């Protein structure tokens, strides 16, 4: 029986799909729900992608909820062209999956998160892999949420390496830096799994061929989806050696923190015209006796990849 309950907050593109598979496959956690976000695709598309992938993997008991559809400071959202080139216009590498047999839940993702935080407290793990908008909205509606959730491990930010949107800014934080700044300054205890470590975890077609060789529909579909991602990394000159395991690394670290080395500090997100969306130490809290952020700056990429493949090979073989 899994001891920890997990909620994924996904803008379900390709690496989010891998994070979903990882969460299902790891016996240490019980995936109790997915909240949809915007970023790699529209929030509605994200929700539908999650439902389709859950159905493919035989996990039709995991509910999917719609989160916020745009940032806390805008009234709408449009997917960036670069996101469509990396993830495909449908978010999952232009791979077509059957329409899910079940609908998205009627309860809002924000209300689901608040309810789960009160129900599970320290036993709840939250993994935001897109913007911080949903978590920020939950804390605004019920400030106690920041103190209740036992483990918030998010994919986002860049502390020691350049960003992937601007020289300072990573894409997830860039979507809603004001929300991220509020969350960073809240009492919530967090681990930042940013570009500092995710860019060091690469998947190649050698690994996706292992999934094809399983001879299963899940293995084939995920290989097709991720090969699109690997090709996009190559063609866009992001990395010629493979694709980064951004979001699934955050899931892995939430369960096994020993995959990464971290530094403790209090952080902020800037949103001025110069450093829009920069994740950096907060000088006003530099000497505070306590910190609320662990920022990952090193990763045992080899150990992580071995465990990642062990989990997903096992899942896709079923």
CA distance 133 to 296: 22
Residue 5's contacts (CB-CB under 8 Å, 6 or more residues apart) are 29, 30, 32, 116, 120, 123, 124, 125
Instruction: Enumerate the active-site residues.
Output: 11, 246
The rounded radius of gyration (Å) of the Cα atoms in the chain is: 18
Residue 222's contacts (CB-CB under 8 Å, 6 or more residues apart) are 17, 18, 21, 208, 211, 312, 316
CA distance 121 to 274: 38
User: Within 13 Å of residue 13, how many CA atoms lie on the same side as its CB?
Assistant: 26
Question: Is residue 70 exposed (0-12), middle (13-18) or buried (19+ Cβ within 10 Å)?
Answer: middle
Taking each continuous run of H as one helix and of E as one strand, the counts in the chain are: 13, 12
- DSSP secondary-structure letter at 102? S
**Tokens read off for 214:** 């399983």
């Amino acid at each position: 029986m899994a001891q920890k309950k997990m909620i994924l907050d996904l803008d379900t593109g390709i690496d989010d799909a891998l994070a979903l598979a990882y969460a299902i496959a790891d016996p240490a956690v019980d995936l109790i729900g997915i909240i949809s976000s915007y970023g790699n695709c529209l929030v509605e598309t994200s929700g539908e992608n999650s439902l389709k992938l859950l159905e493919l993997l035989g996990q039709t008991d995991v509910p999917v909820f719609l989160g916020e559809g745009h940032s806390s400071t805008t009234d709408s959202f449009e997917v960036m062209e670069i996101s469509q080139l990396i993830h495909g216009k449908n978010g999952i590498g232009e791979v077509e999956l059957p329409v899910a047999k079940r609908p998205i839940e009627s309860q809002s993702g924000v209300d689901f998160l608040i309810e789960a935080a009160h129900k599970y407290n320290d036993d709840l793990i939250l993994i935001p892999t897109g913007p911080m908008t949903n978590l920020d909205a939950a804390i605004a509606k019920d400030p106690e949420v920041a103190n209740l959730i036992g483990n918030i491990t998010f994919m986002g930010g860049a502390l020691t390496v350049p960003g992937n949107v601007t020289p300072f800014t990573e894409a997830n934080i860039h979507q809603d830096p004001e929300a991220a700044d509020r969350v960073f300054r809240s009492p919530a205890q967090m681990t930042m799994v940013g570009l500092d470590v995710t860019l060091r975890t690469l998947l190649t077609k050698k690994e996706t061929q292992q999934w094809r060789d399983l001879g299963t529909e899940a293995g084939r579909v995920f290989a097709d989806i991720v090969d699109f991602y690997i090709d996009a990394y190559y063609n866009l000159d992001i990395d010629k050696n493979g694709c980064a395991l951004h979001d699934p690394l955050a899931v892995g670290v939430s369960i096994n923190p020993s995959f990464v080395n971290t530094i403790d500090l209090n952080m902020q997100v800037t949103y001025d015209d110069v450093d829009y969306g920069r994740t950096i130490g907060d000088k006003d809290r530099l000497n505070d006796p306590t910190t609320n952020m662990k920022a990952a700056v090193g990763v045992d990429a080899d150990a992580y990849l071995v465990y990642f493949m062990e989990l997903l090979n096992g899942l896709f073989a079923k």
